[in-house]
Amino acid sequence: MLPGPPTNARAANDQAAGLRRLFGTSRKRFVALAHNAEVAQATLAIDRLCDAAAALGLHTLVVDAADSAPAPHEMALLDLPSCVEALSDDVSYLAARGLPIRHVDATGRCGAFLQALEHAAPQADLVLVHAGTVDLARLFAEHRLRPLLLGADTPRAMTEAYAALKRLAQRPGWLAHDLLIVADPHGPRTERLGESLAECAERFLGAAIHDCVVIDPRADAAAAPDVRLVQLLRAQMAQDLLHDSAAVPLAHHAPAVH
């Protein structure tokens, strides 16, 4: 993707320095990415998020618990750290399909799995959990979360993105979301995709799309991460910080579609 204006780049660098200071003494941060079976390039979106985290100086553990994920290693329940695979200096990976429910408690929540993840990958600063909406609700029920939704330039993909938003708004009560759209940034419909979803969310659910970033599937993978995606990721982790400080509720506003 094309880099943002120099002022944005400087701001991203300042934010990165702040995050590195923050992570020196804080627990791991979690980002929840809702699985969308109608988006064929979900892996690309995950890769771009990992690139953005690396630009902030963070190591990411990708926990793939979606229905499409590989089955976990047979030792996952006995020795979870041994099942974490190092993909690069900046990224680790855990195949976790079906693992959250194996940690369910009497209340139907799976928070124990998040604790297990913190111990399984001590090198990770950020834990990116890719899972279906039911698992996300069980995992993060006690968190002040702004889930990441995933869409693409097809009606079925955006319909499923709305369905995920609706489920997350109704069950855990998360009324603010961010949106990633894998599409041509210059496509004739791209700008309206996020706007349409935001309008439906506001009108029918009283929910909001906070930020929307388009991921160009044709962009050079070796290029610097999109500054707007870096900023979105930083804001995501700031929301997780609010869980610790019991801050005021999230503001709802129309998305900034980039």
> Would you list the DSSP string of the chain?
-----HHHHHHHHHHHHHHHHHHTTS--EEEEEE--TT-TTHHHHHHHHHHHHHHTT--EEEEE-STTSPPPPTTTTT-GGGGPEE-SSSEEEEE-TTTGGGG--TTS--HHHHHHHHHH-TT-SEEEEEE-HHHHHHHSTTS---PEEEEESSHHHHHHHHHHHHHHHHTT---EEEEEEES-TT-TTHHHHHHHHHHHIIIIIS-EEEEEEEE-TTS-TTSPPPHHHHHHHHHHHHHHHHHHHT-PPPP----EE-
Nearest to 216 by CA among 186, 236, 191, 179: 186
What is the rounded distance in angstroms from the CA atom of residue 91 to the CA atom of residue 251? 32
The gap from C-alpha 229 to its chain's centroid, in whole angstroms, comes to 11
Look up residue 187 and give its two tokens: 């496509």
Please tell me the predicted confidence (pLDDT) of residue 145.
86
Tell me the residue length of the chain. 258
Nearest to 104 by CA among 117, 94, 93, 114: 114
Q: Which domains does the chain show, CATH number per domain?
A: 6-257 (3.40.50.300)
Q: What is the pLDDT of residues 169-213, one digit of tens each?
A: 998 999 999 999 999 999 999 999 999 999 999 999 999 999 999
The confidence band for 238, taking pLDDT boundaries of 50, 70 and 90, is confident
Q: What is the pLDDT of residues 50-67, one digit of tens each?
A: 999 999 999 999 999 999
Give pTM, 2 decimals: 0.85
The mean predicted confidence, pLDDT, of the chain is: 87
